[in-house]
Every structure is written in structure tokens, then in C-alpha cells.
């Protein structure tokens, strides 16, 4: 029987679940907190023994530590209730948090998994398959990998996909949406069209099954490729 080649991004997920016995139960517990009205979060880093809790700021959003952290292996957070005012996928702010942590050298990219559980009952895991691509897309003029054309594209893509707070501006991904599949298609289009160096997985509620997701524009379907 042929042995399938290892899938590096899947391996990041399963290596963590195998190496940290408490991780699965912690993620399941966090998944149960999406009904709360504030975000909740947990993390594991190279200088922590167990999964730790993240604090929540005054605005109800989870805050990621940077001072006391060595390097993050895993960050998980919720997008809280109510479901009609929260993103069912990762937010623009989530991308910038990852960018900031990468710039601060606070993420172990070869191990890192970024989990999201939402009040829309979606569960995703995201890994960084190419840090340089990700950082180039989010580079500012303070960064030496800044590219003016990519910068312009990023500004336009934010307007197209994420511009919030103006009901007449019509961004494609909105917090008020209850159509999780459509949100996912837009989100994957954004990742793929911009070659962001990220891999997205859908996770079952028991955190046993992980499926890599890609959007097929020809068929308008989200294709699932199992990790297990």
C-alpha cells in the first residue's frame, strides 16, 4: 500500500495534539464559550507548560500577550455572540495581530496553529505555510520588504472584503452575515487571490477531523481535503 507523503501543514496540527495531551480538551472548552458576549482565548508557547488563558480588553476583544511570551506555538480565540454581529471567519484585525507577532519574532512558524471558534458555529485552524509571502502582503513603509503595488492591492482588498461600519459600503465579509458558506468562499478567495501563504482547515466540534479548504472558482464550491 502506497504511503502518502507527509502534509507539513497537517502535521503541525497533529504534532501539537499528540504532544500536548491537554490541548484538545482546552480547545473543546473554548468552543463552548462562543455563546458568551466577550471573546475568549487561549495559547501555548515555548515557555509555557500548559495551555494558558488570554485576557480580554475593555472592548471585549481578546488581547495577545507579547512581552512575557517566548514564541507562540498555538493561539485560539472566539468570535463571540451574538452570531449576527460577529465574523464567522478570521477578521482583518486577526491578520494584523499575526503580522505584529511575526514582526516581533513571537511566533514559531514551523509549529504555529491559529484556531478560531465562532458564535456562528464555525471552527477553523490556520497555519502559516510561507511567512515571507504573508509579511510581504501586510508590509508597511516601515518594513524593508515593502512593495508599493502590493500595498495598494492590500488597501483595495480591505475595502472589498472587510470595510466595516458603513452599511452602504457593502464589504463582502460582514459580521451581520448568517451565511457561513458564503463568508468562507469570500475568505478563501481573499487568501488565494493574494497568495497570502496561509492554509485554512475546517475542524469538527470534537477537534478530531481536520480538512484543508480551498475555493474552486470554476465550480463555486469549497473543496475539502482530509488531513486524517
Partner 1 sequence: MKTYITILVIALGIISCKAQTIVNVNTYNQGDNSNKYFKDISGFYDPFLGTWEGNYNDVTFRVVLWKVEMRELSNETNSYKDVIKGKFFIVENAGLPDETIKCQSEQYYPQSDSTWWSVIHAVSCSGVRMTGAIWDNCTAQGIPPQTGDLIMTITNSGFTPLIAHWIIKKGSRIKGHDFTIPKDIMLTKVN
For residues 133 and 145, is the Cβ–Cβ distance under 8 A? no
Q: Report, in Å, the least distance between residue 146 CB and partner 1.
A: 4
Angle 139-65-11 from CA coordinates, rounded to 5°: 75
Span interacting with partner 1, options 4-12, 14-22, 54-62, 117-125, rule CB under 8 A: 54-62
By the rule CB under 8 A, 100 interacts with partner 1: yes
By the rule CB under 8 A, 57 interacts with partner 1: yes
By the rule CB under 8 A, 171 interacts with partner 1: yes
Spatial CA neighbour of 71 closest among 112, 41, 130: 112
Whether omega before 82 lies within 30 degrees of 0, making that bond cis, reads yes
Which of 9, 177 has the CB closer to partner 1? 177
Q: Is 207 left (phi over 0), alpha (psi -120 to 50) or beta?
A: left
By the rule CB under 8 A, 67 interacts with partner 1: yes
Question: For residue 39, with 0-12 CB atoms within 10 Å meaning exposed, 13-18 middle and 19 or more buried, which class applies?
Answer: buried
Q: Report, in Å, the least distance between residue 169 CB and partner 1.
A: 6
Residue 189 grid cell? 478567495
By the rule CB under 8 A, 119 interacts with partner 1: no
By the rule CB under 8 A, 172 interacts with partner 1: yes
Which of 23, 101 has the CB closer to partner 1? 101
* Cα distance between residue 61 and residue 38, in whole Å: 7
**Binding test (CB under 8 A) with partner 1, winner from 37, 70, 105, 152:** 152
* Cα distance between residue 8 and residue 47, in whole Å: 23
Q: Report, in Å, the least distance between residue 172 CB and partner 1.
A: 6
Residues that bind partner 1 (CB under 8 A): 55, 57, 59, 61-67, 93-94, 96-97, 99-101, 103-104, 139-144, 146, 148-149, 152-153, 155-160, 163-166, 168-172, 193
Amino acid at each position: 500500500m502506497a504511503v502518502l507523503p507527509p502534509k507539513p501543514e497537517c502535521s503541525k496540527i497533529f504534532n501539537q495534539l499528540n504532544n500536548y495531551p491537554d490541548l484538545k480538551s482546552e480547545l473543546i472548552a473554548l468552543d463552548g464559550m462562543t455563546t458568551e458576549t466577550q471573546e475568549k482565548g487561549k495559547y501555548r508557547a515555548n515557555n509555557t507548560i500548559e495551555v494558558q488563558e488570554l485576557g480580554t480588553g475593555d472592548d471585549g476583544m481578546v488581547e495577545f500577550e507579547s512581552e512575557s511570551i517566548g514564541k507562540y506555538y498555538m493561539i485560539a480565540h472566539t468570535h463571540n455572540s451574538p452570531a449576527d454581529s460577529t465574523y464567522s471567519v478570521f477578521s482583518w484585525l486577526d491578520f494584523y495581530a499575526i503580522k505584529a507577532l511575526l514582526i516581533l519574532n513571537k511566533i514559531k512558524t514551523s509549529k504555529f496553529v491559529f484556531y478560531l471558534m465562532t458564535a456562528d458555529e464555525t471552527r477553523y485552524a490556520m497555519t502559516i505555510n510561507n511567512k515571507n509571502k504573508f509579511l510581504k502582503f501586510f508590509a508597511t513603509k516601515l518594513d524593508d520588504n515593502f512593495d508599493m503595488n502590493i500595498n495598494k492591492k492590500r488597501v483595495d482588498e480591505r475595502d472589498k472584503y472587510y470595510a466595516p461600519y458603513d452599511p452602504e459600503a457593502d464589504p463582502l465579509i460582514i459580521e451581520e452575515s448568517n451565511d457561513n458558506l458564503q463568508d468562507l468562499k469570500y475568505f478563501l478567495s481573499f487568501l488565494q487571490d493574494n497568495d497570502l501563504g496561509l492554509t485554512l482547515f475546517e475542524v469538527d466540534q470534537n477537534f478530531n477531523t481536520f480538512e484543508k479548504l480551498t475555493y474552486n472558482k470554476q465550480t463555486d464550491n469549497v473543496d475539502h481535503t482530509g488531513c486524517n
